[in-house]
Amino acid sequence: MKHSREYEIAFVGLKPGHHVFNYTINDKFFEHFEKPEFNNTSIEVKLTLDKKQGIFLLHFDINGVITLPCDRCGDDFQMPLWDEFDLVVKQIDDELVAQKNDEDAEVAYIGRSESLLRVDTWIYEFIVLSVPMQHIHPDDEEGNSTCNPLVLKYLNNQNPDQPNGLWDDLKNITN
Positions that interact with Zn ion (CB under 5 A)? 70, 72-73, 137, 147
Least distance CB 72 / Zn ion (angstroms) = 4
User: Measured from the CB atom, is 21 or 77 closer to Zn ion?
Assistant: 77
Element (H, E) at 128: helix 120-130
Rounded distance, CA 152 to CA 145, Å?
A: 9
Least distance CB 74 / Zn ion (angstroms) = 7
User: Measured from the CB atom, is 121 or 144 closer to Zn ion?
Assistant: 144
Reduce the DSSP state of residue 137 to 3 states and report it.
Answer: coil
Least distance CB 44 / Zn ion (angstroms) = 26
User: Measured from the CB atom, is 97 or 147 closer to Zn ion?
Assistant: 147
* Pairing status of strand 55-69 against strand 76-92: antiparallel
* Pairing status of strand 76-92 against strand 107-111: parallel
Least distance CB 90 / Zn ion (angstroms) = 44
User: Measured from the CB atom, is 72 or 100 closer to Zn ion?
Assistant: 72
Question: What's the number of CA atoms in the CB half-sphere (13 Å) around residue 40?
Answer: 10
* β strands within the chain, DSSP E: 8-10, 17-25, 39-52, 55-69, 76-92, 107-111, 116-118
Q: Which of 125, 119, 115, 123 has its CA nearest to residue 94?
A: 115
Least distance CB 27 / Zn ion (angstroms) = 22
User: Measured from the CB atom, is 108 or 147 closer to Zn ion?
Assistant: 147
